[in-house]
Structure formats: structure tokens, C-alpha cells
Amino acid sequence: MIPNRRYCVLKNLKLVKYTEAWAYQRSLVDKRINNPNLNDVLVLLEHPPVYTLGTGSTVDFLKFDPQVSEFEVHRIERGGEVTYHCPNQLVGYPILNLRYYQQDLHWYLRQLEAVIINTVANYGLKAYRIPDLTGVWLEEKKIAAIGIKVRRWITMHGFSLNVCPDLTGFQRIVPCGIVDRPVGSLAEFVPHITLDRVRVDIAKAFAEVFQVKLIEEISSDTGKK
């Protein structure tokens, strides 16, 4: 046990349908609103191909008609514009009670960026922020997107890091509404990188940045937590 550190349950899931993970997040948030003493949670998973739009995002950044599209599209309650999720992209959903950290959303966003930056540093790479934008870049390519929602200081949604995905799906959108900066992946800079390796590194970076003690719980069932 690490003295004075808050516990955070690490749930390593595999490929989870977006709507199932979305409902799961809401259930975790509801439980912590009802009982603020529950441990925090970090969910790590992948999604099948899906597009999501933030609350105030515009469909102008879609290069297809969502009303007649074959692609799965959801408008959700996070901030930010449209993004794309797919296999081999690592998605993290921290369910944290910010009353135990800092009740400051800008601070929280910068902490999530720090998690990604510290993770990428394990591979000898220097990722970075861009002023006035949210996310993480590596050699002019955006490798991680961040979008959050907070209810009564309980967080949901989170970050996505392109580890070794097929980036084709990003060609159908203007990712995060940024027209002049391409999307990239870690695999472009670290050949043979694997999602399993990055899972370990990102969990370690998360624990260090947020100063929590992770308790790992591995399961493939999002409906019985």
C-alpha cells in the first residue's frame, strides 16, 4: 500500500461495443454520485469502428451523411468535436471524483494529456501539447484525442490513443474539427508496438500523474460491475 494515495480500480476490457461502454460509464458515475466514497475507476478498452460527436459539435465535420450512413455514429455528452474509434486504438475512461483531486476541468484535461505524454516517453519519443488545443501531438501528427464530461465532479469519457489502428476511418471526418493537422499513430514511430504493451505503460503513467494506487480487475463483462 502507498500511504496517502487514493485507490483506483483498473478495469482492462477488450473490444466493447460503444453503446455498451457508454451505458457502463453512466452506471459507474451514477453509483459514485450516490456514494462518493466508492473507489475511482480507470477503464481501458477498444471499440469496434464508431464515430462520436460531442454535445455542441457540428455535423459539418462529417464527410458523409449520418442519416443514410453505414457507419455507426453517436452524439454524446462529452465536449469536443467529432472523433473516430476503432480496434488497436486504446481508449481510457477515468471515472474520478475530482473532489479528491482538484475541482478544475482545465487541470484535469492537462493531467490526461500528461498521462499520454509520459506514456509516449517510454518509447524515446517526445509528444507535446499545442496551445489552445486539447490533445497530444507527435511530430506534427495528433496521436491522442481527449473529450470529457463531468457530473457533480465525477468524470466520464476521457482519452483515445492511436497505438496501431487502421487510420482510414479518420479520412471520413475532420478529426476534432482541426483541418490543418493530420492524425497519426504510435506505430508510425515504433514498429511492432502492441496494444498490450501500451496498456501497461498507460496504466503506470496514469497512476503516477494522478498519484493513485491501481487495483487491477480484469473482466470482459461490462454489465456486472
Tens of pLDDT, residue by residue over 172-214, are 988 888 887 899 999 999 999 999 999 999 999 999 999 999 9
Please say whether the dihedral angle defined by the alpha carbons of residues 39, 44, 45 and 51, taken in this order, is positive or negative.
positive
Q: Is 5 helix (H, G, I), strand (E, B) or coil?
A: coil
- On the question of pLDDT at 225 being above 80, the answer is no
Which pLDDT tens digit goes with each residue over 110-152? Answer: 999 999 999 999 999 999 999 999 999 999 999 999 999 999 9
pLDDT, residue 224, reads 44
- The share of the chain scoring above pLDDT 90, in percent, equals 82
DSSP readout, 195-225? HHHHHHHHHHHHHHHHTEEEEEEE-S-TT--
CA distance 96 to 93: 9
* Residues 155, 174, 191: CA angle, nearest 5 degrees: 80
What pTM was estimated for this model as a whole? 0.94
Is 164 annotated in the active site?
no
Q: Check 8, 86, 164, 176 and give the catalytic one.
A: 176
Structural domains of the chain ordered from first start: 6-218 (3.30.930.10)
